[in-house]
Amino acid sequence: MKKKTKNILKIALPLLLGVFLVWYSLSQISISELIKYFKKAEYTYIVLGMFFGLLSHLSRAYRWQFQLEPLGYKIKFGNSIMAVFATYLINYTIPRAGEVARASILTNYEGVPFEKGFGTIVAERLADLIVMLGIIAVTLFLQFDFIYGFLVEKFNPTKIVMAFAVLLVVVFLFLRFVNRSTSKIALKIKGFVSGLVEGVLSIFKMKKKWAFIFHTLFIWTMYVLMFYVTTFSVQEMSDIPFAAVLIGFIAASFSIAATNGGIGSYPEAIVLVFTSLFFIPEDPSRALGWIIWSAQTLLIIVFGGFSLIYLPIFNRNKESA
C-alpha cells in the first residue's frame, strides 16, 4: 500500500468511524430526549468536572518543563500551556497531528529542536501509559470479586482458565520468537520495546523526577475526578457504584484513540460498560457520556482556540527580534 494511501486512511477511517458512532448513538436516543437530560443536568458538577480537567491540562504543561530543563531549555510557562491546549484541539481534526504541532510550536517560539521536543512528548506518553496500566491493575484488584463473578456468570470457568493458559503460551512463544529472530519485524519490535524502556528510565534520570512523578499522578487523579464528579450531574447516575466509574473511565479513555477526540466513541464506550456490566439503563448512560464529552470538548475548543490565536501575539517580541 502506498504511503499516500496509508496517510489518507489514517485520517479518513477515524473520522468515518466517529461519524458512524455519532449517527448510531443518536439513533438510540432521540435528540429531544438527549436535550432534556442536558437541561435537567446539575451544572455545578459539570463545571467542577471541567475545573478538574483544566487542572490536569495545566499540570501537564508544567510537567513538560521538567523534561526540557535537562536538555538545556527553559521555556515560558505560557507557551507550554498554549502548546498543550493546541495539541488537544488539533487532535480533533487529524489524530496524533497535535503532538507534531506541539513540538513545532516549541521549535518556532522557544527554539527547541523538533526531534528533542517530540522526544519529550513520547516520553511523557510512556509515563501516562504506565499510570493508565496502574489504574487498570488497581481496578482489577479492588473489583476482583465483581469481575471474576461477572466472568463466571457469563462464561464457563473451565474455558476461562483454558483461554488464560493459551494466552500465556502464545505470549511466551511470541516473546521467544522476537528474542531469537533477526527478521525486520522482530528487530522493529525489539527496538520499540528498547525505546520504551529507555524512555521510562530517562524519567528517573531527570533532576526533578519526583516532581515529574507527582504531576503525572496528579494529572490522572484529576482525570478520574473529572469523570467521577460529572456522574452526579445526571440524577439517575448519582448512586452508581465506584466500580462502574473506574471501569467506565478506563473504557472511555481508550475510546479517545479510536476517533477524533473521542467523538461518538466516548459516549458509546460508557454505554457499553454501564449497560452490559452494571445493568444501568441506556438513556441516562448515553446522556452522561455525551455530557462528559461535550463539557471537556467545550473546554478544549475555548482554550485551544484561544491558544492558537494568542500564541503569535504572546511571542510577538521574539518574532520581531
Cα–Cα dist 57/63, whole Å: 10
Q: What is the pLDDT of residue 157?
A: 63
Cα–Cα dist 82/316, whole Å: 15
Sequence-distant (6+) residues with CB within 8 A of 320 are none
Which is nearest to 248 in space by CA: 217, 216, 280, 218? 280
Q: What digits encode the pLDDT tens for the residues 183-238?
A: 777 777 776 666 556 555 666 667 788 888 899 999 999 999 999 999 999 998 88
Q: What is the pLDDT of residue 149?
A: 66
What's the alpha-carbon Rg for the chain, to the nearest Å? 22
Cell of 159: 474455558
Domain residue spans in the chain?
40-145+208-320
Which is nearest to 266 in space by CA: 278, 253, 277, 275? 253
Confidence label for 271 from pLDDT (cuts 50, 70 and 90): very high
Confidence label for 152 from pLDDT (cuts 50, 70 and 90): low
Number of neighbours of residue 91 by Cβ within 10 angstroms: 21
Confidence label for 23 from pLDDT (cuts 50, 70 and 90): very high
DSSP codes joined into one string, 12-50: HHHHHHHHHHHHHHHHHS-HHHHHHHHHHS-HHHHHHHH
Cell of 31: 435528540
Q: What is the pLDDT of residue 297?
A: 95
Number of neighbours of residue 213 by Cβ within 10 angstroms: 17
Cα–Cα dist 173/170, whole Å: 5
**pTM (two decimals):** 0.83
Name which residue leads in pLDDT, 96 or 37: 37
> Does residue 1 surpass a pLDDT of 60?
no
Q: What is the pLDDT of residue 154?
A: 61
Cα–Cα dist 228/243, whole Å: 11
> Does residue 95 surpass a pLDDT of 60?
yes
Sequence-distant (6+) residues with CB within 8 A of 124 are 60, 63, 64, 67, 216
Q: What average pLDDT does the segment 298-310 reach?
A: 94
Size (the chain), residues: 321
> Does residue 252 surpass a pLDDT of 70?
yes
> Does residue 88 surpass a pLDDT of 80?
yes
Q: What is the pLDDT of residue 48?
A: 97
Per-residue DSSP letter, 65: H
The residue to which cell 438527549 is assigned: 34
Q: What digits encode the pLDDT tens for the residues 27-81?
A: 999 899 999 999 999 999 999 999 999 999 999 999 998 888 877 888 899 999 9
> Does residue 261 surpass a pLDDT of 90?
no
> Does residue 170 surpass a pLDDT of 60?
yes
Number of neighbours of residue 76 by Cβ within 10 angstroms: 14
Angle at 29 between CA 28 and CA 32, to 5 degrees: 155
Q: What is the pLDDT of residue 194?
A: 64
Mean residue pLDDT of the chain comes to: 84
> Does residue 285 surpass a pLDDT of 60?
yes
Q: What digits encode the pLDDT tens for the residues 110-133?
A: 888 888 888 888 888 888 888 898
> Does residue 278 surpass a pLDDT of 80?
yes
At residue 127, the 3 state secondary structure works out as: helix
Q: What average pLDDT does the segment 15-25 reach?
A: 89
